[in-house]
Amino acid sequence: MSLADRIEGLRARIQRACEAAGRDPATIELLPVSKKQPVSLIREAASLGFTRFGENYVQEGADKAAALPGLSFVLLGPLQRNKARPAVQHFSELQSLDRPDLAGRLRRLAEELDVVRPVWIQVDLWDEATKLGGCTEAELPALIEALGGDPRLPLKGLMAIPPPENRAAFFELAALRERLQQDFGQRLRLSMGMSGDLEEALAAGADQIRIGTAFFGERAYPAR
């Protein structure tokens, strides 16, 4: 199946899911996750109208950003302090914020490099942090306080990677978003849902879905 065919199929799935949930498909962002995909395929996706791509590894994403200067790359998932500088340099947006010390590090780097980098807080409500990163609901106030409303790191929303097959997790995240919006008086977006569960995520209120395999096809991992 061609890339264009896969994209058409995804858009049809999004359309059906939005119709079922009474939502407008135009309000949903489809973020292609290009981890382990070749630059040539990303270029093909760009020719079909996509300009933003998600990456999980700092070095891989930085290399692609250098090779494709007309596109934007979003860092997804855990970020180590020692990789914070290249992350701020090469990614247009960071969906990796999960602890106060990282917020402080990113604030200093954004000021030093004189850049604005929207951030999303990666949350974990299911004790998955040791594997996937994320902060608990109890840790959120301290993390938001550490951001300090810094205009160089505008808070855009919440990102999460729920445990597989836990469909209720999407509604738990939507409820968390509502509580935070009431507490902090700020509109927050939700990034959740992937190739196998985008329908459930959209039904619960996802604003952005992160799609890898269903968009690009199977990843080409190197032989061992």
Domain boundaries, the chain: 3-216
Single out the residue of 25, 4, 2 nearest to residue 206, CA to CA. Answer: 25
Distance, C-alpha 40 to centroid of its chain: 22
Give pLDDT tens digits along the chain (224 positions): 899 999 999 999 999 999 999 999 999 999 999 999 999 999 999 999 999 999 999 999 999 999 999 999 999 999 999 999 999 999 999 999 999 999 999 999 999 999 999 999 999 988 765 557 799 999 999 999 999 999 999 999 999 988 877 888 999 999 999 999 999 888 999 999 999 999 999 999 999 999 999 999 987 655 44
Domain boundaries 3-216, CATH class: alpha beta
